[in-house]
């Protein structure tokens, strides 16, 4: 199942129509029909701060509190008084906005401070901030990869990596080759095949992986992949969007989790997960960052992050230092929930804060979501074409702020829904193969 590359919803609704209205109508008709049947679990309106219990407007306009299992705000930082205080102080000092891109008047001392703090967290020499994690991925690929280079990437990488490849391929003749998810033997065979060839003396091999895979919640085998890259002289990029703030005792990410200070050339991260904000970053050696600051179009031609975001992430990093128990609680909660769900017979998994709950290919996942909605459980479903047809699943995101009562209520709802739709009792389905 992937995860980005195959996501081409528009293709399912292709028409020969030549007018704008004609082109969009088949999807619009499908969507309206789905909404009328009450199966609306996309873009629901949230009317309170996002935490363990979140107020949400239902389709009929009524507002109710739901148990939130669908937010990346893993640590509950969005409502932390220190984070809010940091934002207020920054507003008083710097005003509401920044005046442009980082090279042209959009760099404040607070942005610089955040770069330094993130470098320390990642064990890197320098860090640059991007408008989003998505942009960070476009930014490095498109700038660092040259003709004749080879990019070997995990099949489960995020859509932004796929889009970075497409953007780069539009102007550079390089090879992008996918290895089977977390299959280090496959990666090694590809490294052997593509190592600097005699006829390609300038070839550089890049390897791209994620710290915590966003749809499956499993970790990269970092020591192994890093050793392979060292052996074959490949540059390693790890996108740790879902590991930063979550993995490692201090939330440093999968590097800290595996006790590895070196061995990754480029770290990509996002503020849209554990930090509960929006924005991205890239950490690497001073030389790599100097180069990207002046050569990456995704960096040069886009305004710097808002001061409020920078202040909130700085505040979040300070909270992590003062209250590392938040990370402990997050993992305790995830462990508790996953254990109970697999005990009930659901096909599930946990290494970080993302818990996929696989659904049989013949289950109507939208109906399942409607039942959870009726139960007051807010969760996300991942359906075709975001993943393959037999990869459809519910995707739970656990938070440090969930109480035992929240989790027990959610588990009870899972048991009821599981029985109602027959996913549990009497099912011969053994999970995805
Ligand atoms: N990389 C990964 C692995 C992700 O999961 C995501 C977000 N889903 C991104 C990048 C994009 O991050 P952002 O939301 O900051 O654009």
Residues 365-415: tens digit of each pLDDT: 888 998 999 999 999 998 877 777 788 999 999 999 999 999 999 999 999
Ligand 1, atom nearest to 270 Cα: 15
Q: How far apart are CA 349 and CA 391, in angstroms?
A: 14
Q: Is the CB of 347 under 6 A from ligand 1?
A: no
Q: Is the CB of 160 under 6 A from ligand 1?
A: yes
Confidence check: pLDDT of 7 > 70:
no
- Ligand 1 test: best mutation among 160, 161, 387, most atoms within 8 Å of CB? 160
pLDDT in tens, 55-95: 999 877 899 999 999 999 999 999 999 999 999 999 999 99
Mean pLDDT value across residues 144-154? 96
- The pLDDT, as a whole number, for residue 345 is 93
Average pLDDT, the chain: 92
Q: Is the CB of 70 under 6 A from ligand 1?
A: no
- Which token pair is 422? 């027959």
Per the omega criterion (within 30 degrees of 0), is the bond before 385 cis? yes
Confidence check: pLDDT of 276 > 80:
yes
Q: Whose Cα sits closest to atom 15 in ligand 1?
A: 133
Q: Is the CB of 226 under 6 A from ligand 1?
A: no
pLDDT in tens, 329-343: 999 999 999 999 999
Residues near 111 by beta carbon (within 8 Å), at least 6 away in sequence: 98, 102, 129, 304, 305, 310
Q: Is the CB of 4 under 6 A from ligand 1?
A: no
Mean pLDDT value across residues 15-31? 90
Q: Is the CB of 397 under 6 A from ligand 1?
A: no
Respond yes or no: is residue 370 known to be catalytic. Answer: no
Bigger pLDDT: 266 vs 9: 266
- The pLDDT, as a whole number, for residue 190 is 97
- The pLDDT, as a whole number, for residue 389 is 77
Q: Whose Cα sits closest to atom 5 in ligand 1?
A: 214
pLDDT in tens, 219-238: 999 999 999 999 999 999 99
Bigger pLDDT: 37 vs 39: 37
- Ligand 1 test: best mutation among 134, 155, 212, 213, most atoms within 8 Å of CB? 134
pLDDT band at 41 (very low <50, low <70, confident <90, very high): low
Q: How far is the CA of 133 from the centre of ligand 1 (A)?
A: 5
Q: How far apart are CA 128 and CA 288, in angstroms?
A: 10
- The pLDDT, as a whole number, for residue 201 is 81
- The pLDDT, as a whole number, for residue 428 is 58
Q: What number is the ipTM of this complex?
A: 0.98
Bigger pLDDT: 203 vs 430: 203
- The pLDDT, as a whole number, for residue 115 is 98
Q: How far apart are CA 148 and CA 202, in angstroms?
A: 7
- The pLDDT, as a whole number, for residue 362 is 86
Domains recognised in the chain with CATH numbers: 9-68+325-420 (3.90.1150.10), 78-322 (3.40.640.10)
**What is the reported pTM?**
0.93
Respond yes or no: is residue 214 known to be catalytic. Answer: yes
Respond yes or no: is residue 339 known to be catalytic. Answer: no
Q: Is the CB of 210 under 6 A from ligand 1?
A: yes
Q: How far is the CA of 242 from the centre of ligand 1 (A)?
A: 8
- Which token pair is 337? 């929930």
pLDDT in tens, 414-426: 999 999 888 775 4
- Ligand 1 test: best mutation among 270, 273, 380, most atoms within 8 Å of CB? 270
What is the full DSSP assignment across 240-301?
-TTTTTTSSTTS--HHHHTT-SSS-SEEEEESSSTT-S--EEEEE-HHHHHHHHHH-HHHHT
- The pLDDT, as a whole number, for residue 30 is 87
Q: Whose Cα sits closest to atom 10 in ligand 1?
A: 133
- The pLDDT, as a whole number, for residue 422 is 80
Q: Which of these is catalytic: 41, 273, 304, 347?
A: 273
pLDDT band at 432 (very low <50, low <70, confident <90, very high): low
Ligand 1, atom nearest to 213 Cα: 3
Q: Which residues of 75-84 are buried (b: 16+ CB within 10 A; e: fewer)?
A: bbbbebebbe
- Which token pair is 421? 């739709």
pLDDT band at 427 (very low <50, low <70, confident <90, very high): low
Q: Which of these is catalytic: 111, 242, 304, 347?
A: 242
- The pLDDT, as a whole number, for residue 386 is 76
Q: Is the CB of 131 under 6 A from ligand 1?
A: no
Q: How far is the CA of 206 from the centre of ligand 1 (A)?
A: 20
Lowest model confidence (mean pLDDT) among 6-15, 127-136, 232-241: 6-15
Mean pLDDT value across residues 283-312? 97
Q: Is the CB of 239 under 6 A from ligand 1?
A: yes
pLDDT in tens, 359-372: 988 888 888 998 99
- The pLDDT, as a whole number, for residue 421 is 86
pLDDT in tens, 163-200: 999 999 999 999 999 999 999 999 999 999 998 666 78
């Amino acid at each position: 199942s992937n995860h980005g590359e195959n996501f081409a919803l528009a293709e399912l609704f292709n028409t020969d129509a030549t007018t704008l209205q004609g082109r969009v109508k088949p999807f619009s008709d499908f969507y309206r029909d789905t909404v009328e049947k009450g199966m609306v679990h996309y873009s629901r309106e949230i009317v309170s701060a996002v935490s363990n219990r979140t107020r949400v407007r239902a389709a009929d306009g009524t507002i109710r509190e739901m148990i939130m299992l669908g937010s990346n705000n893993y640590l509950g930082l969005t409502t932390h008084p220190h984070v809010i205080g940091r934002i207020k102080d920054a507003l008083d000092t710097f005003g509401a906005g920044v005046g442009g891109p980082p090279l042209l008047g959009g760099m404040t001392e607070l942005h610089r401070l955040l770069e330094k703090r993130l470098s320390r967290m990642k064990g890197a020499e320098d860090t640059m901030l991007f408008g989003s994690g998505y942009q960070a991925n476009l930014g490095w690929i498109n700038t660092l990869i040259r003709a004749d280079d080879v990019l070997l990437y995990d099949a489960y990488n995020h859509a932004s990596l796929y889009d970075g490849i497409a953007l780069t391929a539009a102007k550079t003749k390089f090879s992008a080759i996918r290895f089977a998810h977390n299959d280090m033997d496959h990666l090694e065979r590809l490294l052997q095949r593509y190592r600097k060839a005699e006829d390609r003396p300038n070839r550089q091999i890049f390897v791209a992986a994620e710290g915590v895979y966003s749809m499956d919640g499993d970790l990269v085998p970092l020591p192994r992949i890093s050793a392979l890259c060292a052996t074959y002289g490949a540059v390693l990029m790890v996108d740790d969007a879902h590991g930063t703030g979550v993995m490692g005792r201090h939330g440093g990410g999968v590097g800290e989790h595996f006790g590895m200070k070196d061995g990754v050339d480029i770290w990509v991260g996002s503020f849209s997960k554990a930090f509960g904000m929006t924005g991205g970053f890239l950490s690497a050696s001073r030389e790599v960052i100097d180069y990207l600051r002046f050569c990456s179009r995704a960096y040069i031609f886009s305004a710097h992050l808002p001061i409020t975001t920078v202040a909130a992430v700085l505040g979040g990093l300070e909270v992590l230092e003062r209250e590392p128990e938040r990370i402990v609680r997050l993992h305790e909660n995830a462990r508790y929930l996953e254990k109970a769900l697999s005990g009930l017979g659901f096909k599930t998994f946990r290494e970080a804060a993302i818990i996929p709950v696989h659904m049989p290919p013949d289950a109507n996942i939208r109906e399942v979501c409607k039942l959870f909605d009726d139960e007051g459980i807010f969760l996300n479903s991942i359906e075709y074409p975001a993943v393959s047809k037999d990869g459809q699943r519910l995707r739970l995101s656990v938070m440090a702020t969930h109480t035992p009562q929240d989790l027990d209520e959610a588990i009870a709802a899972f048991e009821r829904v599981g029985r109602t739709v027959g996913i549990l009792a009497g099912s011969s389905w053994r999970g995805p193969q």
